[in-house]
């Protein structure tokens, strides 16, 4: 029988637009210290570490090398995944399954406020021969996807605006979130046009922060924690990078990653077998698109469900009760880490004012943002 | 952005600059704009502020008793916050060094034409724990007379020119 692995420790700094008082070192140190105290361990007890970093975002080439100190991982097995945090989580999970050790640690960080040329860095992710010479903005890519998704799904700008209103409202009651505000749909619809149909308020503002998560094999997990959160399924997937050939309407990467995780978790009907989800809403329409891709909603259903309050904290299937990327902030490689953190807080009953009732299973999803088509999904249960 | 003859000259490509100039092949040059404003945090921040004052400051770990340079807010080996700030001296000894005939872009220095070879060194600063110190440059010394364990001292920029950077120290030079 496959080993069972649980999350037994979580730590975070919380998420704010700027963090001028600390460097990335102190950010991770704070999150790591909290995660180790939460798990009742010290770094010496950890068998292997996985950090998450993307060189251009950190501003170091081979940013991997700057990971060990602030995690307590000096002279320990560690490597870095240049992807979403949930891909790192999958890696740390596999380390335990493969017998490398009983305890592994995952780290992710965002110092987005330190990136002064974010737009240029994202443009630099596009193909240099046949895309970049046209000088598209990264937001143009998101705008085109939004337009295609709306066409195929029937979702409206008003329904997308409702996602923004909901998530930013949820963030007001989440002390970890940095971008909570109370606004109405008109405010979103009338905000500055960026790449129509995408407006300024449809886009997640960026945030800084760090998350560290401790995983343990079943026997160790039960001795360490009285509230272990089990990893029941995990999946990840990448579509073709080609902007010309990818599926613009359906987020196939999210569908495939979710199906991989459902299969592992033995889930056939995600809507009824999962209680809530923290999913990538880096742009308003992504929440709707991802809901349909992951079969939480049927095709063309996510918009109407959102419009009628079905994804509110009090709704039949709460989505992003934490405030999501729109309310917490875009954390880049850490986006999936924030989702995992919030699912764990909910399943432990530690989500404060936003606490959901009678929940046993939650879904956390990450997407690597424009112009990527890479996503990862984790199914967690208490 | 144009590709210049110089860009092509030292590559292993079979392309000739003329091929590019005459448009026989498509050429794309993209200079990424990578601008960062790193927050230094309390440890590195104070280290740099003290360099502006002409002083080198370290931080001690109360558990392993190392005096650490550059200073840090936590001891990465003991996994606990560091304690006292301590000023250390601006003298030290050479741990290891190199006589470099190329600059940081691997461009050849005109040594024959009288350019002094580049001599970066690891300097163990007096007052810090063994193996702790500063990566800096050596000067006012014949590159071939540098020796392991040689005593050196910081040569500071004039006060008005200091900005709170590692380059507030111009270089280290030998002392008796």
Residues of B (57-116) whose Cβ lies below 8 Å from A: 72-74, 76-77, 79
Do A70 and A24 share a structural domain? yes
- Which of A196, A224, A252 terminates a domain? The answer is A224
User: What DSSP state is assigned to residue B127?
Assistant: T
Same domain, A323 and A254: yes
Phi then psi for residue A130, to 5 deg, are -115, -5
- Cross-chain Cβ contact B39/A114 below 8 Å: yes
Spatial CA neighbour of A230 closest among A41, A341, A90, A361: A361
Residues of A in contact with B34 (CB under 8 A): 56, 59, 117, 120-121
Least confident piece of the model among A135-144, A213-222, A342-351, B152-161 = A135-144
Interface test with A, best of B3, B25, B28, B38 (most A CBs within 10 A): B38
Mind giving me the DSSP string for B65-123?
--EESS--SEETTTTEE---EEEE-SEEEEEEE--BSB-TTSPBP-TTTTPPPB-EEEE
Residue B21 pLDDT = 83
Cβ–Cβ < 8 Å for A363, A343: yes
| pLDDT tens digits for range A157-193 | 999 999 999 999 999 999 999 999 999 999 999 999 9
**pLDDT score recorded for residue A137:** 87
Task: Residue A106: give the domain boundaries.
Answer: 5-116+207-224
pLDDT in tens, B62-106: 999 999 999 999 999 999 999 999 999 999 999 999 999 998 888
In a domain, A341, yes or no: yes
Provide the pLDDT confidence category of residue B1 given band limits of 50, 70 and 90: low
Domain end, chosen from A168, A196, A224, is at A224
Indicate whether A69 and A143 sit together in one domain.
no
Q: What is the mean pLDDT of residues A32-60?
A: 96
Residue A301 lies in a domain: yes
Residues A52 and A187 in one domain: no
Confidence of residue A1 (pLDDT cuts 50, 70, 90): low
| Average pLDDT of the segment spanning A110-119 | 94
**What value does the mean pLDDT of chain A take?**
96
Closest by CA to A374, choosing from A133, A80, A81, is A81
Same structural domain, A106 and A171: no
User: Domain total for chain A?
Assistant: 2
Nearby residues of A80 by Cβ (< 8 Å), 6 or more positions away: A50, A51, A52, A53, A63, A64, A67
**Whether A96 and A27 share a structural domain:** yes
Q: Do A124 and B30 touch (CB under 8 A)?
A: yes
The reply to whether A129 falls in a domain is no
Q: What is the interface pTM, i.e. ipTM, of the complex?
A: 0.90
Query: Is the Cβ of B1 closer than 8 Å to some Cβ of chain A?
Result: no
Residue A192 at interface with chain B, using a CB cutoff of 8 Å: no
Same domain? A91 vs A111? yes
Does A359 map to a domain? yes
Give the model confidence (pLDDT) of A209-246 as tens digits: 999 999 999 999 999 999 999 999 999 999 998 999 99
Whether the predicted pLDDT of B43 surpasses 60: yes
Residue B59 has pLDDT above 70, yes or no: yes
A314 touches chain B (CB under 8 A): no
Is A116 in Cβ contact with B79 (below 8 Å)? no
Q: Roughly what angle, to the nearest 10 degrees, separates helices A284-293 and A252-265?
A: 50
Domain check: are A101 and A152 in the same one? no
User: A167 and A56, same structural domain?
Assistant: no
> Could you give the CA distance from residue B121 to residue B98 in angstroms, rounded to a whole number?
7
Q: Does B44 touch chain A (CB under 8 A)?
A: yes
* Average confidence (pLDDT) over A199-209: 97
Which residues in chain B touch residue A127, judged by CB atoms under 8 angstroms apart? none
CATH number where A200 lies: 3.40.47.10
Q: Is B30 an interface residue toward A (CB < 8 Å)? A: yes
Cβ–Cβ below 8 Å for A114 and B79:
no
Best to test chain A binding among B34, B44, B104 (most A CBs inside 10 Å): B34
Please state, for a pLDDT cut of 90, what percent of chain A lies above it: 93
Contact status, residue B47 vs residue B70, Cβ threshold 8 Å: yes
Same-domain pairing of A89 and A163: no
Q: Is residue A46 part of a domain?
A: yes
What is the structure's pLDDT at B4? 78
Please tell me whether residues A264 and A196 are part of one structural domain.
Answer: yes
pLDDT in tens, B45-57: 999 999 999 999 9
Mean pLDDT (whole number) for A111-123: 92
**Residues near A300 by beta carbon (within 8 Å), at least 6 away in sequence:** A153, A154, A155, A292
Surface of B (139-168) touching A: CB under 8 A: none
Contacts of B29 in chain A (CB under 8 A): none
For residue A185, the SS3 value is: helix
Beta-carbon separation of B76 and A68 below 8 A: yes
What DSSP assignment string belongs to A349-363? T--GGGPPSS--EEE
pLDDT band per the 50, 70, 90 thresholds, residue A380: very high
The token pair that represents A204 in the structure block? 């997640």
Q: Are residues A241 and A261 in the same domain?
A: yes
* Cβ-defined contact of B41 to A115 (cutoff 8 Å): no
- pLDDT at B16 > cutoff 90: no
Number of other residues whose CB lies within 10 A of the CB of residue A118: 18
- Where among A224, A257, A283 does a domain terminate? A224
* A56, part of any domain: yes
Q: Does residue B36 belong to the interface with chain A, where contact is any CB pair within 8 Å?
A: yes
Is residue A133 included in any domain, yes or no? no
Residue A131 domain flag: no
Across all residues in chain B, what is the average pLDDT? 93
Element (H, E) at A78: strand A78-81
For chain A, what percent of residues have pLDDT higher than 70? Answer: 100
Residue appearing with tokens 């999150």: A31
Q: Is the pLDDT of residue A135 over 90?
A: no
Distance between CA atoms of residues B73 and B84, nearest Å: 10
């Amino acid at each position: 029988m496959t080993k069972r692995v649980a999350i037994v420790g979580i730590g975070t700094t919380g998420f704010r637009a700027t963090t001028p008082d600390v460097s990335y070192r102190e950010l991770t140190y704070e999150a790591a210290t909290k995660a180790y105290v939460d798990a009742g361990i010290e770094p010496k007890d950890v068998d292997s570490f996985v950090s998450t970093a993307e060189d251009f975002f950190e501003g170091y080439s081979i940013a991997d090398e700057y990971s060990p100190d602030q995690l307590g991982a000096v002279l320990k097995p560690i490597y870095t995944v240049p992807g979403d945090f949930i891909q790192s989580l999958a890696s740390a999970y596999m380390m335990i399954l493969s017998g490398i050790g009983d305890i592994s640690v995952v780290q992710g960080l965002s110092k987005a406020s330190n990136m002064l040329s974010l737009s240029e860095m994202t443009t630099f992710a596009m193909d240099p021969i046949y895309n970049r010479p046209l000088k598209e903005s990264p937001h143009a890519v998101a705008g085109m996807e939004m337009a295609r998704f709306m066409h195929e799904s029937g979702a409206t700008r008003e329904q997308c605006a409702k996602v923004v209103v909901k998530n930013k409202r949820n963030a007001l009651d989440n002390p970890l979130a940095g971008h909570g505000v109370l606004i109405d749909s008109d405010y979103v619809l009338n905000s500055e046009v960026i790449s129509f149909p995408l407006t300024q308020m449809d886009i997640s503002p960026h945030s800084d922060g760090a998350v560290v998560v401790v995983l343990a094999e079943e026997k160790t997990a039960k001795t360490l924690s009285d509230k272990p959160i089990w990893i029941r399924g995990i999946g990840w997937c990448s579509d073709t990078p080609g902007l010309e050939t990818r599926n613009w309407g359906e987020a196939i990467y999210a569908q495939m990653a979710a199906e991989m995780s459902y299969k592992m978790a033995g889930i056939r009907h995600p809507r009824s077998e999962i209680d809530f989800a923290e999913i990538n809403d880096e742009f308003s329409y992504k929440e709707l698109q991802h809901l349909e891709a992951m079969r939480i909603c049927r095709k063309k259903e996510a918009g109407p469900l959102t419009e009628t309050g079905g994804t509110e904290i009090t709704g039949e299937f709460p989505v992003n009760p934490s405030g999501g990327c729109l309310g917490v902030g875009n954390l880049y490689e850490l986006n999936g880490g924030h989702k995992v953190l919030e699912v764990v807080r909910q399943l432990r009953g530690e989500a404060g004012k936003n606490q959901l009732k009678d929940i046993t299973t939650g879904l956390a999803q990450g997407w690597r943002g424009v112009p990527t088509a890479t996503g990862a999904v984790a199914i967690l249960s208490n | 952005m144009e590709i210049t003859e110089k860009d092509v000259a030292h590559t292993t490509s079979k392309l000739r600059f003329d091929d590019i100039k005459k448009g026989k092949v498509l050429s794309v040059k993209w200079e990424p704009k990578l601008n960062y404003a790193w927050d230094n945090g309390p440890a590195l921040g104070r280290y740099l502020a003290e360099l502006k004052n002409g002083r080198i400051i370290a931080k001690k770990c109360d558990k392993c008793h190392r005096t650490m340079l550059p200073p840090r807010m936590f001891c990465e080996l003991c996994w606990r916050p560091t304690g006292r700030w301590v000023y250390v001296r601006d003298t030290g000894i050479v741990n290891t060094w190199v006589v470099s005939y190329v600059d940081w872009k691997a461009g050849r220095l005109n040594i024959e034409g009288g350019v002094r070879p580049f001599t970066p060194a690891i300097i163990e600063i007096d007052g810090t724990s063994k193996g702790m110190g500063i990566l800096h440059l050596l000067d006012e010394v014949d590159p071939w007379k540098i020796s392991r364990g040689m005593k050196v001292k910081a040569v500071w920029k004039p006060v008005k020119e200091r900005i709170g950077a590692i380059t507030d120290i111009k270089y280290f030079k030998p002392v008796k």
